[in-house]
Structure 1
Amino acid sequence: MKFRLPLAGWILLAMGLGVLIGYTIFLSAPDKASATEIAGHISIVSDVFLRLIKMLIGPLVFSTLVVGIAHMGDAGAVGRVFGKAMLWFMTASLLSLAVGLIMANVLQPGQHLALPLPPVDATTSLQTSAFTLKGFVTHLVPRSFAEALANNEILQIVVFSMFLGVALAALGEKAQGLIRLTDELAQAMLLITGYVMKLAPLAVMAAMASTVAINGLSILATFAVFMRDFYLGLGVLWVLLVLAGTLFLGRRVFSLLHLIKEAFLLAFATASSESAYPKLLAALDHFGVKRKISSFVMPMGYSFNLDGSMMYCTFAVLFIAQAYGIEMSIGTQILMLLTLMLTSKGLAGVPRASLVVIAATLVQFDIPEAGLLLILGIDTFLDMGRSATNAVGNSIATAVVAKWEGELTTEPQTQAEIADEGAPAAKSMAS
């Protein structure tokens, strides 16, 4: 039997090769400007890959979600799944923020920082805005579905798709033609996704090479303590998420982790949760999650369940406060945690959202915003861990909600379906 290296293996190989190429450029380039220029050319591959993924996300979310909701049958079922998903998301967000807060207090990463601190009046050029309930609620509803698609506003696409899915379910037989058409669109988008994913190893190699070419590896040594503590915190969060998954899924949670390994590595290497979305959807199919659940819960998770990003927010804010010698009482830290529970949801979908949320929080609690400059240089390396954690958190959340709804098939049933009908990603979602 001919050996074929799985995609996860190709991604790992591409990561190593990318680091080697990037470091070679970093050492051989005459100056940083030249290295940056070369890195810009190399990153074309990864940029194109991420743009292709973004091109697919909107239509994929729309088509799979509309068909999934249409097959739920009624608005009551939609509301029930929505409530269960939000219960898990809010609990997971609170847990993630608390882990970041506790780990920062225990490890004290900002103490004895052997780096010059940026002047307190230095600016970060990040656009921050205050969270308002009115702004958050009105942003949920798209002014135009076409605008939501064009801007990849996932939450707005979800809102429109929920209305359309419920309407199609209410129409019954009259809507079967449109449901079949939307189902066919979903199958086409999944097929295109398969084509795009063939570029994943090249995109990973380019992303790693361009990052290392600009920053080198010495920046990792400079921030070794902070990065070590942050990834240790992420490790604790991973363990807690898996334990939570085990409570509801039993030992099957480890099968889920095995299935999402390619999506995990892809999110890590590209520092983008979006790049992992199609792979996560396919992995959940193979795990036995009905598409009508995964196509609903996953897009919501991308707005409300960013566990890695949540943990980073409290960890980074306390790190900066410690670096400037600012004492924050337990009461103040709890207030900050509760504030982040709200503001992080209000800024979902904003580019580099974690940094924007952190900047706004620093200003609100009278901590120098300039402290962000301490971590901007390594943010890409931190974002890799955040994105991969978000992928893990959303996959576990979706599987648990499916279990609660009785829409998770057993392992023997899932294997039988795969054997009889091929990969679930390629079959009709009429079930």
Structure 2
Amino acid sequence: MKNKLTIYILIAMVIGVVVGSLIHNTADTDLIKSFSTNIKLLATIFIRLVQMIIAPLVFSTLVVGIAKLGDLKAVGRVGGKALMWFITASLISLLIGMLVVNVTQPGVGMNPAGVDASGVADVVGKTKGFSLQNFVEHIVPKSVFEAMATNEILQLVVFSIFFGVAMAGMGEKAKPLIKALDVLAHIVLKMVGYVMLTAPLGVFGAIAAAIAINGLDILLVYIKYFGAFLAGIALLWVFLLIVGYVFLGKRLAPLVKRLGQPMLIAFSTTSSEAVFPKLTEELERFGCKDKIVSFILPLGYSFNLDGSMMYMTFASIFIAQAYGIHLDLGTQLTMLLVLMLSSKGVAGVPRASLVVVAATCGMFDIPVEGIALILPIDHFCDMFRSGTNVLGNALATTVVSKWEGELAEEAVEVV
């Protein structure tokens, strides 16, 4: 069934491109807008179905995972290894974006005048309150129920860590609850299989809506920008796969094979969040222990979005190039560090990469309206960012599992 579903998703992508192109080339503006809005509902339904099960999955698996780790010392050890990976991967991703945009210079010669800035207001509006206070409020929940209702993964992680450590400290008394939450986690993972059956419809809706509005011609208009971005993504993939091979050896190939379907769904829906439950399932089947997966993966979704990181430096410096603003090496490195920190404050925010880019441009006196230059092509860039984010988090979880001696020699199936 798994291979059939992948085939259905690929077919849905092709049909989506064909239908979207047909509508874009033959319909008037009003019909295109109406079609895009309505067909995108298919993608919305799929993503909302996935979001529906993220909160109970994160809570149940993370609490059980921490309780199984046993004590605060083990939690700190595993968390420390994960953060070391996250910080290193994030810095290298940002550096790759900075390197590629400086070598290819896609913004040089581009005329920002006359670009439609009507869509900028929505993105810029989200940068208000982008401060230390906003960052802290985004991390620490005032209510676990609010965090669950809004799918704030980072806030859920904070609560679940406290809850899990407290359960571990209770000893035998907590065993019945640990067992109940373990059962809940497996029930939610069973639901994942049912939800994934709707993935082809969601993929079709997302692709058709994007192509109907923008058309494939947008790729030709932005060929220099998009080509340079793809070069950066390719370079990042090479780096991730080399590092993955260093730590995993021959097991890297079967891991990447298992990631095919999750990456395909993330790519076509532009949502790495949409595959969080499926990715959890696949990593456990690959041989990662549930206690490691349930701890590392939610952290990764907040701190380790490699594809998005690469794009942030790339897009920020591109806008500066388009406006003829020279940024010396020191300024660019400062921008890199700002992006490294500020990106952690908007995890889970729609179009988070653009929000961070807009906020960073404002800090370095780069016209925020320059976001309008990349808005038309952003959906297509987001497809590759999302797929790369999935690869980065899967590698992080698998490598930490191996460091902890918790990676099974042979792939195991989850019942």
TM-score normalised according to structure 2 size: 0.96
CA drift at 1:118:
3.7
- CA offsets per residue over residues 81-105 of structure 1, 9 Å max, x none? 1111011000000000000000000
CA drift at 1:379:
1.2
CA distance in 2, matches of 1:179, 1:305: 28
In the alignment, which of 32, 35, 44 is matched to residue 47 of structure 1? 44
The aligned counterpart of 1:429 is none
CA-based RMSD:
1.8
CA contact (8 A) 2:312 2:356 kept: yes
CA contact (8 A) 2:138 2:346 kept: no
Segments of structure 2 that go 5 or more residues without pairing to the other structure are: none
The aligned counterpart of 2:182 is 183
CA drift at 1:175:
1.1
CA drift at 1:113:
2.8
The aligned counterpart of 1:141 is 140
CA distance in 1, matches of 2:351, 2:160: 26
* Pair 1:28–1:135, CA change in 2 (3 A): closer
| Matching residue's letter, 1:15 | M
CA contact (8 A) 1:120 1:368 kept: no
- Helix, strand or coil at the partner of 1:251: helix
CA drift at 1:218:
1.2
CA distance in 2, matches of 1:86, 1:210: 37
State yes or no: 1:400 paired with 2:399. yes
In the alignment, which of 2, 5, 29 is matched to residue 7 of structure 1? 5
The aligned counterpart of 2:30 is 33
The aligned counterpart of 2:276 is 277
CA distance in 1, matches of 2:221, 2:4: 35
Q: What pairs with 1:250-261 in structure 2 (closer than 5 Å)?
A: 250-261=249-260
CA drift at 1:136:
2.4
CA drift at 1:138:
4.1
In the alignment, which of 46, 60, 72 is matched to residue 57 of structure 2? 60
CA drift at 1:372:
0.6
- The range that moved more, 128-137 or 351-360, is 128-137
The aligned counterpart of 1:301 is 300
CA distance in 2, matches of 1:117, 1:62: 48
In the alignment, which of 70, 73, 86 is matched to residue 73 of structure 1? 70
CA distance in 1, matches of 2:228, 2:323: 18
CA contact (8 A) 1:101 1:314 kept: yes
| Matching residue's letter, 1:113 | M
CA distance in 1, matches of 2:129, 2:36: 35
CA distance in 2, matches of 1:392, 1:168: 32
- CA offsets per residue over residues 320-341 of structure 1, 9 Å max, x none? 1111111111111111111111
CA drift at 1:130:
5.7
Q: What pairs with 1:408-423 in structure 2 (closer than 5 Å)?
A: 408-411=407-410, 414=411, 418=412, 423=413
* Pair 1:403–1:89, CA change in 2 (3 A): same
CA drift at 1:11:
1.5
The aligned counterpart of 1:354 is 353
- CA offsets per residue over residues 89-131 of structure 1, 9 Å max, x none? 0000000000000000011111233775549999534221465
Segments of structure 1 that go 5 or more residues without pairing to the other structure are: 427-431
CA drift at 1:290:
0.3
CA distance in 2, matches of 1:122, 1:387: 22
| Matching residue's letter, 1:110 | G
State yes or no: 1:225 paired with 2:224. yes
The aligned counterpart of 1:366 is 365
| Matching residue's letter, 2:225 | F
User: What is the total number of aligned residue pairs between the two structures?
Assistant: 413
CA distance in 2, matches of 1:368, 1:134: 24
TM-score normalised according to structure 1 size: 0.92
Percentage of identical aligned residues: 52
| Matching residue's letter, 2:209 | S
CA contact (8 A) 2:139 2:158 kept: yes
The aligned counterpart of 2:166 is 167
- Helix, strand or coil at the partner of 1:326: coil
CA distance in 2, matches of 1:387, 1:319: 20
CA distance in 2, matches of 1:4, 1:239: 27
